[in-house]
Structure 1
Amino acid sequence: MDTSAARRNILARIRAASGRAAQPEPAERGAVADYLAHHPAGPRPALPADPVARVVRFVEQARLMGTTVDEVDSLADAPAAAVRYLADAGLAARAVIWRTLESLAWADAGLVVESRAPQGTDLVGITGCFCATAETGSLVLLSGPGTDVGAALLPETHIAIVPASRVVAAYEEAFALMRTERGELPRAVNFVSGPSRTGDIEQTIVLGAHGPYRVHAIVVRGA
């Protein structure tokens, strides 16, 4: 049984124990939609309304979180930018990628890619993102066909292609965009804020504890 089905079954049992139908009824869904539409927002810091300013804020915050950032003009420039980053880091030009990125000219740029789920021997994963948040410099990744989130979590190096048009102000706008475009949340939603790190041992920061040592964002201004 997949995780989504297991979750639905668990929630159905909880609903049955409380005397409700296994699946939410239209009135319940309507009440949730009404709450989301009319519930007053909590206090928030001032964030840029201008799209260009949001991208600038995202880049600043991402770098503060330890993400390195490059900017290119178009998606066609992304493969060459990825190769430059790997060369500068002394890493091999080989990666696993999302199937949604297969159409880019990776081979022409000198990068060997495979569009599949990552394995323990894969050192570089290249992904897109659903959106990114200017407030925290975070990447927002949604699981689904062709967007295996493992490519961002298992390899030591994660390269993310970030369309400038998908940079939103904050988490609130990210979740609103998910509801608008996807309806319901997918099985996994990941907010990636720089390389994996922990300070559990003597409060010493260690990178790569639970995921990539390196996160690199390629911001595409024309996408």
Structure 2
Amino acid sequence: MDTSIARRNILARIRAAQGRDAEPAASEREAVADYLARHPQGPRPPMPDDLIARFIEEAQKLATSVETVEALSEVPAAAHRYLTQQGLPVQAIAWQTLQDLGWAAAGLTVEFRKPQDSDVVGITGCFCATAETGTLVLLSGPETYASAGLLPETHIAIVPASRIVAGHEEAFDLIRSERGELPRAVNFVSGPSRTGDIEQTIVLGAHGPYRVHAIVVRGA
């Protein structure tokens, strides 16, 4: 369900109550951009030159398993390899943006739709990833549904190496420069879902996937 129109209507009513036009004027947008450009960042840890290696290291600390391949064409075989090694079914749902990859040739049955309760594996891409925390950044859209990485027990994410940035600050800068405004949902995925509410015992899969597997594509 697309809630973009409902969100705009809600924001328009808030702006009307403040005596402002329904949509932000160009001057308002320019003022925000100017503030963001001038606002100093807080202290940040130093980052290595090799952001790919740092991302892999931090992702693994969060219980995200990682495999590296050289080209996008190798992704389906890598996904099949991971699923069979884990004893998982080789059926999955995936984003519609991934239809052109050779899933069937690699032995996978993939449907390009939103997940249902019975779907065990979800395959997504990512908008970018952050090396500082080993985090995947996913933006929702008509063909990149957020539920694909949230509902299935196993989440496989394709991570183009060229889209690995230093930290969250760079991720938001990239969203603003390429999208102009935030989509309906921005999800930062840092390993499998977990909770420690009960006796401080970590339980995986509490509110999302039990497993997160990242396939880093060096040539993408």
Out of 175, 191, 197, the position equivalent to 1:200 is: 197
The one-letter code of the counterpart of 2:40 is: P
Give 1:15 deviation, angstroms.
Answer: 1.2
Given the alignment of the two structures, is residue 8 of structure 1 paired with residue 8 of structure 2, yes or no? Answer: yes
For 2:166 and 2:78, the matched residues in 1 are separated by 25
Q: Following the alignment from structure 1 to structure 2, what is the Cα–Cα distance between the partners of residues 4 and 102?
A: 25
Counterpart-to-counterpart distance in 2, 1:193 and 1:110: 29
Deviations 1:11-63 (A, max 9, x none): 11111111111111111111001111121111111113x3xx10000000000
Match of 1:43 in 2: 43
Task: Pick the aligned partner of 1:118 from 115, 118, 126.
Answer: 115
Partner of residue 29, structure 1: 29
Q: 1:98 aligns with which of 95, 98, 111?
A: 95
1:157-205 Cα offsets, whole Å, 9 max, x none, are 0000100000000000000000111111110000000000001111111
Cα distance in 2 between the residues matched to 1:195 and 1:2: 26
**1:212 maps to which residue?**
209
Structure 2, unpaired ranges of 5+: none
Structure 1 residues 199 and 182 mapped into 2: Cα distance closer, same or farther (>3 Å)?
Answer: same
Q: Which residue of 1 aligns with 2:176?
A: 179
Taking only the aligned residue pairs, the percentage that are identical comes to 72
TM-aligned CA deviation for residue 2 of structure 1: 3.9
Residues 84-95 of structure 1 correspond to what in structure 2 (within 5 A)?
Answer: 84-95=81-92
Q: CA deviation at 1:5?
A: 1.7
Q: Which amino acid aligns with 2:167?
A: A
Q: What are the Cα deviations for residues 37-93 of structure 1, in whole angstroms up to 9, with x where unaligned?
A: 121111111113x3xx10000000000011000000100000000000000100111
Moved more, 184-193 or 13-22: 13-22
**Structure 2 length-normalised TM:** 0.98
Which residue identity does 1:218 align to in structure 2?
Answer: I
Alpha-carbon distance in structure 2 between the residues aligned to 1:11 and 1:145: 22
The 1-side partners of 2:7 and 2:93 are apart by 29
Counterpart for residue 56 of structure 1:
53
Output the amino acid matched with 2:95: W
Q: Matched residue of 1:195: which SS?
A: coil
Following TM superposition, where does structure 1 have runs of at least 4 consecutive aligned residues deviating by more than 6 angstroms?
Answer: none
Q: How does 1:129-144 map to 2 (within 5 A)?
A: 129-144=126-141
Residue 46 of structure 2 aligns to a residue whose secondary structure is coil
**Partner of residue 166 from structure 1, selected from 163, 168, 178:** 163
Q: How many residues align?
A: 220
Counterpart CA distance in 1 for 2:100 and 2:113 is 14
Counterpart-to-counterpart distance in 1, 2:195 and 2:5: 32
Could you list the per-position Cα deviations for residues 125-173 of structure 1 after superposition, in whole angstroms to 9, with x for gaps in the alignment? 0000000000010000001121111110000000001000000000000
In structure 1, stretches of 5+ residues that fail to align are none
